Amino acid sequence: MDIQAYFLLVILILIGHVSSASSVNSTKECPNIKTSLVSVRKRRHLAFPPGSAASITTSVVKTFMTHVPSGWFVVVEAELVYMLPDHTMISAHKRRKLHHRQKKEIWETLKDALEQRNMNGRACIIRTICEAKMRLAPKGKSLVHDILRAMFTAPLEEREFVEEMGLTYNELLEPDFCMKANDCPLSILSVILDLNRKR
């Protein structure tokens, strides 16, 4: 058998194997599959059960020794709850609107937490948005920077973002809002980036 006939035989065997493998996706040969998988080539998304949430909690513990070996513990905790996407979030339009809504909820949660400590929470959010424009590394260089960029960027060119924010953060619509005076004493971005710095 010459080399051309050998290659032709190998190609015919491969074609027969591929066609038989593609026919396995029928529901008769595989009873666990309800529909054919041949035509399913859609983008998939992870959906959690309705009401699922993830939370990030930071705790600071201080011990006061009243007498040895026991004492008092003072604990200060801060928790950020993030609602996870469920099956209702299907289209790209809805996902984008949900992303803007979640961003607004994060800003409002941080604002309320700062205002409970007698700080101007709104001014601190505006300051963090302005600092995120200048201080974050390019996309893909750092996971922490990418998370902060997702949380603290204001895509004013997107109509859905402007509609979602409405009058809540109307300062963002002004072209030079970062140049204005800000009475926030705390740089949230600096605190997070200092914790992330390599030692």
Task: Please indicate, yes or no, if residue 84 is contained in any of the structural domains.
Answer: yes
Identify the domain containing residue 140 by its residue range.
Answer: 19-196
Task: Please indicate, yes or no, if residue 10 is contained in any of the structural domains.
Answer: no
pLDDT at position 62 is 81
**CA distance linking residue 168 with residue 106, whole number of Å:** 13
pLDDT at position 24 is 45
Would you call 68 exposed, middle or buried from its count of C-beta atoms within 10 A (0-12, 13-18, 19+)? exposed
Task: Please indicate, yes or no, if residue 75 is contained in any of the structural domains.
Answer: yes
pLDDT at position 45 is 67
Task: Please indicate, yes or no, if residue 3 is contained in any of the structural domains.
Answer: no
Angle separating helix axes 92-115 and 143-152, nearest 10 degrees: 90
- Per the structure, the count of domains in the chain is 1
pLDDT at position 56 is 83
pLDDT at position 105 is 86
CA dihedral 127, 128, 129, 130 (to 10 degrees): 50
Answer yes or no: are the C-beta atoms of 112 and 122 closer than 8 Å: no
Across the chain, which has 199 residues, the per-10-residue mean pLDDT values are: 62 60 49 60 70 85 74 81 73 68 86 88 88 86 87 84 78 81 84 74
Task: Please indicate, yes or no, if residue 13 is contained in any of the structural domains.
Answer: no
